[in-house]
Structure 1
Amino acid sequence: MKSNLLPDDDAAELQQIAGCEMIDLLLPDMNGLLRGKRITRDALEKVYANGVCLPMSLIATDITGNTVEETGLGYDIGDEDRICRPVPGTLKIVPWQSRPMAQVLLSMEDGKGGMFAANPREVLRRVVERFAEKGLTPVVAVELEFYLLDAQLDTSGHPLTSINPSTGERNKTTQVYYMEDLNDYQAFTDAVTEACRAQHIPADTAVAEYAPGQFEINLKHRKDALLACDDAILLKRAIKAIASDQGLLASFMAKPFVDQAGSGMHVHVSVLDKDGNNLFACTPERPNDALRHAVAGLQAASTDCMLVFAPHANSYRRFVLNAFVPLNDCWGFNNRTVAMRIPHSDEANTRIEHRIAGADANPYLVTAAVLAGILQGLETKADPGPPVVGNAYEQTETRELFWRDTIRDFMASDFVAKNFGSDFRHIYGQQKLKEMRSFYREVTTLEIDWYLRQV
């Protein structure tokens, strides 16, 4: 029976899930982890009518799931609940579960009649609104790299590459874009394809990447940046769940192996004017002013927003020489050694591929930072300098990145406060500062190896 309390699209989707018993209510936090509740089918209408209460502190829990008191969202306010409501149009089947289930994304309110400003999806929505006020529409697509690993760690607790399901041997070789790797893991890629089709996630390309067991799945572009990021966050959930069902571990960790490629999140963006024309449409021989200004805006924002692009301790392991990872903020056409790449395309489809972020970052926040940088560049009409031709690693100065520095830069950033709000800057900054302090309190095995007997 169709519910009058659900939006038409969600009601129609629910009708297609015969015998649906349970629904997962999903709230993406600042780290991009999905938190929430599982409810029975008969409780869903009440959630649409009245929302569901979740602790406000959930948005900014650290990577281990603990409340970060320094954010002011914990004991200081009595760990208050806030109303969370379903995001219309996001109710979908969960096809990998053994019984009929659905899921829906939530958005958190602020208790004053508005939306909680530090909610990552809300941060992005406000940036997109600023484009709309100028008659502009960002077109966004997200690419995600990840590893398929052995579900069991080695005896020292480190990850192992997976056992190839075709050969029965552990993956050791690197065969970038190798079709046999896709064939060997066809059971996995087919299951992901089916899940994406069932959930209306527009995934269209899978490739074997530059390391054993590393893959990339690309999403089609959207004229709605929020939907593009919903796609990314839900694709990650599907990939992890399907890998687990097949006895594998899917990891979006930025650098799981010291001697192998890291995993990135590449965000493709073009901008349409009110008539639907691409502002960036141009040729490599004659790059237009809008494209150049947008790139310059991204360059100016890169230091302030690096904590968004590289949010974790491990994120900084990825920035190494000759690994197709940007080591500064240069740009160029059809060049994978730069930070802001203009992919090969026809003139009308010219776009910027932002290559700095790791796959461990939050897609809502990464996209918000990219779009805010582009908008600032269009407004200030800054100059990005000439595009790099050839190997950028040999022609430009390498930027050395440290987690402590990026936290400091973020927390002092006027750009972040202006574009994402001072509350978000405080909460996210304190979350990362707490994670960093906790991380550096630990004594690592490397320290024992280096110092226990030697000093």
Structure 2
Amino acid sequence: MQPTAPNRSAEVTSFLAAHPTLTQVALILTDINGIARGKFLRPHELHGLYTSGRPLPSSILSLNPLGEDVDTTGLVWEVADMDCISRPVPNSLKLSPWLPNTAQVLVSMDKVAGMPAAAADPRLKLVDIVNVLRADNLHPVLACELEFYLLDASAWKQGKVIPATTTYGLPLTQTQVYSVDDLEAMRPFFADIYKYCAVQGLPAETAISEYAPGQFEITLLHRKDAVQAVDEAIQFKRLIKGVAEQHGMIACFMAKPFSDRAGSGMHIHISLNDENGMNLMSAGEIDTNKILLHSIGGMAASVQDSMAIFAPHANSYRRFKANSYAPTAATWGINNRSVTFRVPNGSPASRHVEHRASGADANPYLAVAAVLAGMHRGIREKLHPGKPAEGNAYGTQANTLPLNWYETLKNFEQSAFIQEYFGEAFQRIFSALKREECEAYNTHVSELDHRWHLRLA
């Protein structure tokens, strides 16, 4: 039954009229692990979502990567798994063109009616930190670059993890970085990516064959609304996975799916505008621009506290090694891909920083929030990053990144920086989730344990 006014949303009415064959709508909340959680709604239920919000259990933000409750978060039995109200994210109601008669809408917790789960909502953390910068007339402009592997879905069913097969029926076996031929060999996949991005209004741009067989990257356009940019990255990641499945592949965003091949990162390109849209990093030379230098100084000073966000899983730490295009120390440089904070070449008007620490497995909301918080801290405290690295920065011993999961969790849990910008409740909930995951992972006896030690110990 269709609801009657005033319980109808004009936006929903217009959307349903434009898509009369729609049969289901995915309601999507992004959890702390970056995993899509939610429900499938019938189309008429959208009216209630837009006019009154939609209840979701508090435990939806207490789940580990396997979808199991983590009681120590305080979001399960301590609050009786109570309902918390979620609200639709503006401009996120879109068709899911890789699925028949299906749409999707992102939701986020209501700051008041969504408590206690709202304290753990990654999108709300980003919104809060963006507002802190805006209050100081700092308006972040950013884009996310996502690296990913295309894997053979049929082989996965047989327990094998191998790169996808091309349009010609041949497996991708060579690295062939920047290969146009490899892009052309996957042209039906990329054609659908761009076609569906047009349907969803996602600003997909350049596609690149990356530093391993089956590894690719697609860039997104810079946005002057930082939260919009990350909403689009969330939607884009889901679109890539959906299109890959259509083509008999798995789009893999693990940080390191192969031990002997390149890892996948999420590079965050970011600058700061003033209220008039002027790039504050563009004035003067790089070595004299205080906003640029203080931003890098703040990111460098806070990266150790934030590494649990940038590298959220055990697999994340396998990505970091020398001469791998993944950073190992809190270094910065100009036109230098061996550093963590890179200032790319370009005109002063386009000057920005590329933050290279985050893996493709990180939650984009939290990763960007941590980057922005670090920049704000650096500007507020006038932190200087020191001299830029020249040449190969992998030999740098100072400011080494913490690349041990236990160490990064300890840094996160004890960080005054994290507590100030993310709040005590989020710090506690995130720590509880990741501690549980870390302990479960490290107590698991693997096939490698058997192979190395079963007969030799």
Distance 1:416 1:61 in 2: 21
Gaps of 5+ in 2: none
Aligned length: 453
The Cα shift of 1:284 comes to 5.8
- Compared CA separation, residues 200 and 155, structure 1 to 2 (3 A): closer
SS at match of 1:386: coil
Q: Shift of residue 402 of structure 1?
A: 0.5
The aligned residue for residue 49 of structure 2 is 47
User: Superposition pairs for residues 56-455 of structure 1, below 5 Å?
Assistant: 56-98=58-100, 100-109=101-110, 112=113, 116-153=118-155, 157-166=159-168, 168-282=169-283, 286-397=287-398, 398-399=400-401, 401-455=403-457
Secondary structure at 1:192's aligned position in 2?
A: helix
Q: Distance in 1 between matches of 2:344 and 2:9?
A: 39
Distance 1:189 1:434, change over 3 A: same
Q: Assess if the C-alpha contact under 8 Å between 1:152 and 1:160 holds in 2.
A: no
Q: How far 1:283 moved relative to its partner?
A: 6.3
The CA deviation at 1:44 is: 1.5
Shift of 1:394: 2.9
Aligned mates of 2:8, 2:135 — CA distance in 1: 30
Cα deviation for residue 103 of structure 1 reads 0.8
CA displacement at 1:118 relative to structure 2: 1.8
Deviates more, 1:211-220 or 1:268-277: 268-277
Partner Cα separation in structure 2 for residue 440 and residue 312 of structure 1: 11
1:309 alignment partner AA:
F
Distance 1:414 1:356 in 2: 21
CA contact (8 A) 2:167 2:187 kept: no
Moved >6 Å (runs of 4+): 1-4
Tell whether the 8 Å contact from 2:329 to 2:394 is kept in structure 1 after alignment. Answer: no
In the TM superposition, what whole-angstrom CA distance separates every residue of 1:2-34 from its partner, at most 9, and x where no partner exists? 987666655544433232221111111001111
Aligned letter for 1:198?
A: V
The 10-residue stretch of structure 1 (295-304 or 393-402) with the greater mean CA deviation from structure 2: 393-402
The answer on whether the counterparts of 1:140 and 1:225 sit within 8 Å (CA) in structure 2 is yes
Q: Could you give the per-residue CA deviations for residues 132-157 of structure 1, whole angstroms, max 9, x where no partner exists?
A: 11122100100000000011346983
Q: Which amino acid aligns with 2:377?
A: Q
Distance 2:353 2:295 in 1: 9
**SS, match of residue 305 in structure 1:** helix
Deviation readout 1:60-115 (Å, 9 max, x if unpaired): 310000011010111121111111121222100111112x2211111113555778
Pairwise CA distance, 1:184: 0.5
Q: Which deviations, in whole Å up to 9, do the C-alpha atoms of 1:302-332 show, x marking residues without a partner?
A: 0000000000010000001111111011001
Could you say what the CA RMSD is over the residues aligned between the two structures, in angstroms?
A: 2.0
CA contact (8 A) 1:121 1:364 kept: yes
1:236 alignment partner, SS class: helix
1:236 to 1:390, Cα distance in 2 relative to 1, 3 A: same
Asked if the contact 2:141–2:222 (Cα under 8 Å) also holds between the matched residues in 1, the reply is yes
Q: 1:151 to 1:254 in 2, by over 3 A?
A: same
Shift of 1:399: 3.8
Read off the aligned partner of 1:176 and give its amino acid letter.
Answer: V
**Aligned-pair CA distance for 1:390:** 1.1
Map Cα deviations across residues 110-133 of structure 1 (whole Å, 9 max, x no partner). Answer: 555778132000000000111111
8 A contact 2:28–2:37 mirrored in 1: yes
Amino acid in the other structure paired with 1:34 = A
8 Å Cα contact 1:82/1:111 also seen in 2: no
Distance of 2:392 and 2:254 partners within structure 1: 27
Partner amino acid, structure 1, of 2:278: N
C-alpha deviation, 1:169, in angstroms: 2.3
SS at match of 1:258: coil
Cα distance in structure 2, aligned partners of 1:32 and 1:366: 10
- CA gap of 1:346–1:20, structure 2 versus 1, over 3 A, is same
Cα pair distance change 1:130/1:111, threshold 3 Å: closer
Mapped to 2, the partners of 1:186 and 1:113 lie a distance apart of 43
- The amino acid across from 1:147 in the alignment is Y
For normalisation by structure 2, the TM-score amounts to 0.95
Query: Which residue type is aligned with residue 47 of structure 1?
Result: L
How many percent of aligned residue pairs carry the same amino acid? Answer: 42
How far apart, in 1, do the equivalents of 2:434 and 2:387 lie? 35
Aligned partners of 1:149, 1:281: CA distance in 2, in Å?
Answer: 41
**Per the alignment, in what secondary structure is the counterpart of residue 165 of structure 1?**
coil
Tell me if the contact between 1:202 and 1:220 (Cα under 8 Å) persists in the aligned partners: yes
Which stretches in structure 1 are left out of the alignment for 5+ residues? none
Q: Within 2, Cα distance between the matches of 1:421 and 1:346?
A: 38
Residue type at the aligned position of 1:324: Y
The separation in 2 between residues aligned to 1:250 and 1:339, in whole angstroms, is 26
What letter corresponds to residue 163 of structure 1 in structure 2?
A: T
TM-score, scaled to structure 1: 0.95
Distance 1:315 1:17, change over 3 A: same
Change beyond 3 A, Cα 1:377–1:111: closer
Conserved in 1, the CA contact under 8 Å of 2:154 and 2:248? no
Alignment partner of 1:377: what SS? Answer: helix
Residue aligning to 2:19: 17
Conservation of the 8 A alpha-carbon contact between 1:54 and 1:83: yes
